[in-house]
Structure 1
Amino acid sequence: MHILVINPNSTAAMTKSIGEAAQQTVREGTRITAVNPTDTPPAIQGPEDGAAALPGLFRLFDKLVLEEGGYDACVIACFDDTGLGELKARSQIPVIGVGEAGFHAAMLIGDRFSVVTTLSVSIPVIEGNIEAYGFSSRCHKVRASEVPVLDLETNPESACERIAAEIERAIADENPGAIVLGCAGMVDLSRSLTARFGRPVLDGVSSAVALCEALFSITDDRNAA
């Protein structure tokens, strides 16, 4: 299958990291194409950035999915699930947000989860999504590590330690069954942090591509029957 991954921000280095990490997690035969608009904010941090990203995101999605085609599923690689509802409504292929995918994976693994995101400005958006999806009773808390999104690319070691410190606080305060990393740019951290803390630390990108593969397998089997 062929999965299109769209990073709604315009930072190509982050898109490259997301695409490479996604390709390493998929089954044999699954291909990842990762792209980003060029006319959106370099990072999506809060509702204003999310709103500013929508026109460029929609134009790119329409061009690649609705006009050119050739993809079996699409992942929106922003933890705010930017534009997700509208993109689902206009698409005939599955469109999965990394936020919703991370939440689903966490609830399958544990009873309740906590989220560790980047900046505090992102918390209301994520909390609003969790409530809209009907998951509020399963989420302990959305926490901010106060790591700017672009620091994940420019200063990764320091960013990782600050995220780890917030995970440690979440475990001490809430003892969640799983931790969800609240930014697509954290895709490279889940394995090392899972090993470090001895409990599942999930990233939404890997969760989303796994769900795309599962949906493709289910629908392909039904079509074959």
Structure 2
Amino acid sequence: MQLTIVNPNTTASMTRAIGAAARAAASPGTVVTAVNPDSGPASIEGYYDEALSVPGLLGEMRKAGRADAFIIACFDDTGLDAARSMVEVPVIGIGEAAMHMATLVAGKFSVVTTLAVSVPALEHNVLKYGFAHRCARVRACEVPVLALEDPASGARAKISAEIARAMAEDRAEAIVLGCAGMADLARSLSAEHGLPVVDGVAAAVKLAEGLVALGLRTSKVGGYAPPRPKTYAGGLGKAEA
């Protein structure tokens, strides 16, 4: 099975870390390729960055060649609907995947993300995915995305403190980590706090493997129908399914 993971930002070191986390979660025989675009924002923090990252994301999918499924490794699920319209194979966003997994192991979960600027977009996704009655709150620990790679930033301690507040104030029964850059923290934070902590990268890998094994593909009836033939100026275009 071939899984292609696209990190929509341009930070290659984060892409390498995401790829490592995905391979650790993958089953034997699953080949994981992790890529990122050359153009776009270095990190995705809010609506503006999301918009500028979508052409690069779709471009990487277009270049990827054969894949049994794609994973979008941004918790905002940047460009997810457009990506699903572009190909027939499953496309999994790590945000949606993590929320689904959390509802299978807990009655109520809270999301701990990076900066407050990302909270409205994630709250919108919670509503869109139908999890409003299961998500207690979307929280920000006020750690910039790129600081997650800096051991001197104190990022892990800030995330841990926000988890403690979610447990006390939200009565959260599980935590969803709201950034792909947090992928390597899930196990240790779960052990520290004694509740499920869900990493979206690992969750997306397992869901993608399951969909492929079941032979399920993206529906082309309705909103995910292929783009209609037309001219896309400026080097844009549609990929083959």
TMscore range, shorter length: over 0.9
2:97 maps to what in 1?
101
Q: In structure 2, how many angstroms separate the alpha carbons of the residues matched to 1:122 and 1:178?
A: 20
2:229 maps to what in 1?
none
Runs of 4+ residues deviating >4 angstroms: none
Q: In structure 1, how many angstroms separate the alpha carbons of the residues matched to 2:42 and 2:158?
A: 21
- Which runs of structure 2 are paired with 1:39-58 in the superposition (5 Å)? 39-58=39-58
Q: Deviations over 1:123-150 (max 9, x none)?
A: 0000001111111111000000000000
Once the two structures are overlaid, the 10-residue window that deviates more, 1-10 or 153-162, is: 153-162
1:127 maps to what in 2?
123
State the Cα distance separating 1:216 from its structure 2 match. 1.5
Q: Deviations over 1:158-214 (max 9, x none)?
A: 100000000000001122121000000000000000000010001100000000111
2:144 maps to what in 1?
148
1:81 maps to what in 2?
77
TM-score, normalising length: structure 1: 0.94
- Which runs of structure 2 are paired with 1:55-204 in the superposition (5 Å)? 55-64=55-64, 68=65, 70-155=66-151, 158-204=154-200
3-state DSSP of counterpart to 2:112: strand
CA contact (8 A) 2:147 2:153 kept: no
TM-score, normalising length: structure 2: 0.87
**Identical counterparts, % of pairs:** 51
Question: Does the C-alpha gap of structure 1 residues 169 and 134 become closer, same or farther in structure 2, counting only changes over 3 Å?
Answer: same
3-state DSSP of counterpart to 1:79: coil
Q: In structure 1, how many angstroms separate the alpha carbons of the residues matched to 2:213 and 2:173?
A: 28
2:19 maps to what in 1?
19
State the Cα distance separating 1:156 from its structure 2 match. 6.4
Paired AA for residue 22 in structure 1: A
List runs of 5+ in structure 2 lacking aligned partners. Answer: 217-241
State the Cα distance separating 1:22 from its structure 2 match. 0.8
Question: Does the C-alpha gap of structure 1 residues 156 and 62 become closer, same or farther in structure 2, counting only changes over 3 Å?
Answer: farther
Paired AA for residue 20 in structure 2: E
State the Cα distance separating 1:63 from its structure 2 match. 2.1
3-state DSSP of counterpart to 1:111: coil
Please say if 1:206 is aligned against 2:199.
Answer: no
Once the two structures are overlaid, the 10-residue window that deviates more, 79-88 or 149-158, is: 149-158
List runs of 5+ in structure 1 lacking aligned partners. Answer: 221-225
Question: Does the C-alpha gap of structure 1 residues 194 and 93 become closer, same or farther in structure 2, counting only changes over 3 Å?
Answer: same
State the Cα distance separating 1:62 from its structure 2 match. 1.7
2:220 maps to what in 1?
none
State the Cα distance separating 1:17 from its structure 2 match. 0.3
Q: In structure 2, how many angstroms separate the alpha carbons of the residues matched to 1:189 and 1:158?
A: 13
Query: Of Structure 1 and Structure 2, which has the larger fraction of its residues in helix?
Result: 1
Q: In structure 2, how many angstroms separate the alpha carbons of the residues matched to 1:111 and 1:91?
A: 34
3-state DSSP of counterpart to 2:39: coil
Q: In the comparison of the two structures, how many residue pairs are matched?
A: 216
3-state DSSP of counterpart to 1:150: helix
Q: In structure 2, how many angstroms separate the alpha carbons of the residues matched to 1:206 and 1:186?
A: 11
CA contact (8 A) 2:167 2:173 kept: no
